[in-house]
Amino acid sequence: MVGAAVGVPVAWFYGLPWLVGLSLFAGLVPDLDAPDATLKHWTINLGDRRRGTKLKPFAIVSSFMTLIFPHRGFVHSLYAALTFGLVGAIIGLLLHLSVWWPITLALLVGYISHLLLDALTPSGIPLLMRGDWHLFPHLRIPTGSYIEHLMVALAAVVVLGYLLTAGSAY
C-alpha cells in the first residue's frame, strides 16, 4: 500500500492515475525472493471465473528467485532497484511508449519505498550489498507491528483520496 501511496505524486504530476497501480506492483516486487511472496499468489483468470484457466504469472519467477537469492539479499539492494527501473525504461522504449519516463519513475519510487520500509525493520537491508543498512539506526519497526499497520492505513487513505479526486477530474 505504501508503494501505491508514493506513486500518487507521480500519477498526479503526469495526470495518469494508473501509475498508482504500477507503483503498487513495484512495491511488491522486492519480496519475490521470499518463499511466500504476495505476487506469487496473484491470479489472472482467463475465461469463465469458475471454469476458466487460472494463471499465476509470478509463481514461477518467485520460486526461481527463492532458489537463487536469499530473502533480503540482492533483491533488497539499491543495485536491484536501479536494474528494475532500467528494465522498465528499456521495455517502455522498446514498445515505443511515449510515457516510458513516468512508468520508469513509478516503478522506481514503488520499489525504493519497499527498500526504505524494510530498512526500518530490525533486519535492515543490504543497501549496497554490504551488511545490514538501517534508515534510522535507533528506530526499529518490526514487521506486523501496530506502527506498520498504522503506516499502511495512512497510505490507504492517501491512495483512496487521490483516486477519488482523480476520478472526478475526468
Angle, CA 35 vertex, CA 29 and CA 41 arms, to 5°: 65
Q: Where are the domains of the chain?
A: 2-33+71-168
Q: Using one digit for the tens of pLDDT, what is the confidence trace for 14-23? A: 999 999 999 9
**How far apart are the C-alpha atoms of 74 and 81, rounded to whole Å?**
10
Q: How many CA atoms lie within 13 A of 163 on its CB side?
A: 13
Element (H, E) at 54: strand 53-55
Q: Which residues of the chain have pLDDT under 70?
A: 167-170
Chain-centroid distance of CA 145 in Å reads: 20
Q: Using one digit for the tens of pLDDT, what is the confidence trace for 26-65? A: 999 999 998 888 898 888 888 877 777 888 889 888 888 8
Q: Any idea what DSSP says for residue 120?
A: T
What pLDDT score does 37 carry? 87
